[in-house]
Amino acid sequence: MPSFTIGEEHFLLDDRPFRILSGALHYFRVHPEQWADRIRKARLMGLNTIETYVAWNAHAPTPDRFDTDGGLDLGRFLDLIAAEGMHAIVRPGPYICAEWDNGGLPAWLFSDPEVGIRRSEPRYLAAVDRYLEQLAPILVPRQIDRGGPLILVQIENEYGAYGSDKAYLEHLVAVNRRIGLTVPFTTVDQPGDLEAGSLPTLHSTASFGSRSTERLEVLRRHQPTGPLMCSEFWDGWFDSWGQHHHTTDATQSAKDLDDLLAAGASVNIYMFHGGTNFGLTNGANDKGVYQPIATSYDYDAPLDEAGNPTEKYWAFREVLAKHAPVPEEAPSVSPPSPSASVTVSESASLWGVLDALGGVVERNEATTTDALGVYSGFVLYEADVELLAPALLEVGEVRDRAQVFLDGVPIGVLAREEHDVSLALPAAGAARLQLLVEDQGRVDYGRRLGEPKGLIGGVRMDGVAVRGWRIRPLDLDRVGEALGELSPSGGRVVGPAFARARFDVEEAGDLFLDTTGWGKGVAWVNGFCLGRYWSKGPQRTLYVPGPVVRPGANEVVLFELRGGTGEIAFVPRADLGHTEY
């Protein structure tokens, strides 16, 4: 069987020097029927390896479940890499960051407030052990020494930026070995965190996106022997709602890659293909201001969100050809997607379909959503109040956005990113106070990992606690049941409401849903959740993967929180918004 080891100067494949030319491709951000296409295009660019994180929380939505079907079939993904004649690097975390919800850590971990993440805390380590044991049947038989593609496994992720618990890292090494992993282990850190984030027994790699020679020199000073590797060569950046669309200059990125390869280093391009935060999977950052990540994870990568080669693809391919063989075959660019415009044919107010979206939990206090075992999406809080005069509504903290209503009439919004905690209520007599709270994505980096969602610290009206709450988590997996309640629409949609339109296409293929004219919400095509949209941008389109589309009749459904024109359009190509230029 083949072997892969770390030598004094090089990675060694069957005892011969081997340079890793890898690209990041997250299986959980790409429709599974498109995995093979994206992998093949990586090889055609000149790469020999595919790297992926493993999103623990995607596989384990509850402590007693571990899903590996469909878009979570990591084994199939690795087999497709092998079928393309490529190698694989797997980064199972348990923490991954990745601008992914909660950095990949399951929110149910934090149901015990004493649990201690990313350190040597027994309850956390026990959960991590179970997770890695569940991965073992997928990873162990696919290692290179057993005929599979897997050549490296990463321990933790940029740990030096978070902690320095060496016993924790040693535990991760031990459990990964115990489950049967025999390939070399690595760590990754930014150059200034290399010492804290690794162990002498692990091979250190660096993460950076510029000044390659300088950063490699720092890595070499930290680790005098062994192959140099940048295992996150940042060729772009992610977008957050309300910001601009991030791009990097293709020529400069190619030069930085050339400098890295000229120094003899191996590389993992982050990202080769970014993909999409389908559903409600995006993460967030909070360094004083909460910033949820956008749905598109295009990342300005060589392969764009729809899988088409970009200017950066060709620039990188030219650089790679200077240092290694590149296939003569080159990928083609897909033609523009079909355009269409349809009118919403059916809609229904949220208030009329609530019973189809799940039951009510009664609590005296306005508790967090986590306390209800709800870790994502939307939750409606309702309480009966009496407003004989205008009053001040106060919430300790909203995580992350609360639309406030009285008897279904909108009063205002409390937004976490604006640090809103109070709102004036008009005199309304006896009324039903309603707060529709959206979890816009859990923080994926830093000290706010695992924080609870919903209403924090209680709700008061003129300083008096509001009690007697009816709390209803909205199960958006049951949208199909709610659709049975839709009525013919008269055009414009007033949110919060569900809206449906039907459209025809001649043949299946990628589409781009134009969200212009709509406010904020979630979209589905043929039952597949495309993710969130928001008029504050930057992105103005949602990517619809071709495998979701059917020849002939199709349907699009919106859960619109504010309101829309009633027109739904599909456009020829993506519009990810304005840049800073």
Active site residues: 158, 232
> Could you give the CA distance from residue 394 to residue 210 in angstroms, rounded to a whole number?
46
Question: H/E/C letters for each residue in 517-554?
Answer: CECEEEEEECCEEEEEEECCCCCCEEEECHHHCCCEEE
Q: How far is C-alpha 273 from the chain's CA centre?
A: 13
> Could you give the CA distance from residue 402 to residue 418 in angstroms, rounded to a whole number?
12
HSE-CB at 136 with a 13 A cutoff on CA atoms is 15
Buried b (16+ CB within 10 A) or exposed e, 209-237: beebeebbebbeeebeebbbbbbbbbbbe
Token look-up 């003899």 returns 264
Token look-up 């360094």 returns 287
> Could you give the CA distance from residue 116 to residue 514 in angstroms, rounded to a whole number?
43
Q: Are 360 and 87 in contact, with CB atoms under 8 Å apart? A: no
The crossing angle, in degrees rounded to 10, of helices 122-139 and 166-178 is 30
Q: How far is C-alpha 261 from the chain's CA centre?
A: 29
Q: How far is C-alpha 276 from the chain's CA centre?
A: 7
Token look-up 């850590």 returns 105
3-class SS of residue 229: strand
Measured CA to CA in angstroms, residue 347 lies from 352, 501, 504 at distances of 10, 9, 19
**Which residues, in sequence order, are CB contacts of 328 under 8 Å at separation 6+?**
none
3-class SS of residue 286: strand
**DSSP letters along 158-203, please?**
SGGGT---HHHHHHHHHHHHHTT--S-EEEEE-GGGTTTT--TTSE
Report the sign of the C-alpha dihedral through residues 360, 365, 367, 372, in that order.
negative
Q: Which of 558, 557, 571, 563 is nearest to 517 (CA)?
A: 563
> Could you give the CA distance from residue 494 to residue 488 in angstroms, rounded to a whole number?
14
Q: What is the CA radius of gyration of the chain?
A: 25
